[in-house]
Amino acid sequence: MSRLLNAARHALGASSLFLAALTSAHAAYPEQPVSLVVPYAAGGPVDVVARILGKELGEILGQSVVVENRGGAGGNIGTSAVARAKPDGYTLLINTPAFVITPLVMEKVPYDPRTDFTPLTQVGFVPALLLTGTDSRFDSVAALIREGKNSPQGLTFGSPGTGTSLHMAGELFSKITGMPATHIPYKGSAPAVTDLIGGRLDFLFDSFVGAYPQVKAGNLRGLAVTTTERYKAAPDIPPLSESGAPGYEFALWYGIFAPAGMPDDLRNQLGNALSRVLQHPETRQQLQATGLEIVGNSPDEFSRQIVTETDKWKALVDSVGLQISR
């Protein structure tokens, strides 16, 4: 009996040391640079938001936050890489509604947004802009729709990738207006915008974050904004719902995720750090200057939102009838 008692005491002591080591490890986090994965090409709106956040998050954590662009496959490459990573806080993801849309429209997506990730916070949201090049013959939504319906070849529109939220924005526009258009996928918004400026695309939808500075600089023409009313950051651009696409409404959110299985204390630590980032005056100013409406909800609130978002986008995907095989 004494041997069993001693063995039990030894096991209990070892277990206590192990738990203490785990607690110490979490308390010491982070001990190395943190990777913030952007699943799209550099230079696009998600990349812009990531770099603003990464700078202040690094200051708060006391370690470098390295923004890592892993574009391709409509965001699937970078997103899937984070799903496979260890839930140790050293690999994070920033994504948009594409996070929940892609598995709804594409077969064999190698991740499940509801089970393979730990939601941390919704950073904020913005509308999209319907854009053409400044030299384009389309100077209004009406002109775009008219030619799209009458052109034998049809029009082309670009997006950051098949199954992304901005791809869905274009498909929804085509459905509501009855204007056929051919989708051209890219590895991010930046290369799509380059082709739009160069006249190799007819139109595209892009996040207000990346597009509006280009509109103000005279590089792009903003035909409409995807809110139901004029957006306060761009009161000179009319809403699409009043410009030939009645009932059209679309918004992009930006959210931060970690792999599934993250311990609660680490999840809360990161959630608190991100909350501090979004409360930092300079960071808020930089984000708001892009047109972003800041949210900064808790991990629990964002987790519930992902469920709601999945249901909302499923209804839209079903109504559009979009299904893509890979």
Residues 6+ apart with CB under 8 A from 316: 168, 172
pLDDT at position 185 is: 92
Contact 142, 181 (CB under 8 A): no
Statement: the pTM of the whole predicted model exceeds 0.95: no
Cross-strand partners of 128: 207
pLDDT at position 291 is: 87
DSSP state of 69: E
Rg, the chain, Cα only? 22
Q: How far apart are the C-alpha atoms of 234 and 95, rounded to whole Å?
A: 24
Q: How far apart are the C-alpha atoms of 300 and 311, rounded to whole Å?
A: 18
Structure tokens at 99: 């996070």
Domain with CATH 3.40.190.10 in the chain: 127-251
314 closest CA partner among 111, 105, 127: 105
- In the block, which residue shows the tokens 């051919």? 182
Fold annotation for 11-125+253-320: D-Maltodextrin-Binding Protein; domain 2 (3.40.190)
Q: How far apart are the C-alpha atoms of 74 and 102, rounded to whole Å?
A: 8
Cis peptide before 246 (omega within 30 of 0): no
Q: What is the mean pLDDT of each run of 10 residues along the chain (326 residues)?
A: 40 39 59 96 90 97 97 89 98 94 86 95 95 95 95 91 86 91 90 94 93 93 93 92 90 95 97 97 94 94 93 80 61
CATH entry, 127-251, from 1.10.1240.10, 3.40.190.10, 3.20.20.210, 3.50.50.60: 3.40.190.10
pLDDT at position 318 is: 83
pLDDT at position 27 is: 57
Residue type, 260: A
DSSP state of 106: B
Residue 32 burial (C-beta neighbours within 10 Å; 0-12, 13-18, 19+): exposed
CB atoms within 10 A of CB 238: 19
pLDDT at position 324 is: 61
Domain with CATH 3.40.190.150 in the chain: 11-125+253-320
Q: How far apart are the C-alpha atoms of 132 and 290, rounded to whole Å?
A: 20
Q: How far apart are the C-alpha atoms of 50 and 66, rounded to whole Å?
A: 10
pLDDT at position 152 is: 85
Structure tokens at 216: 């103000």
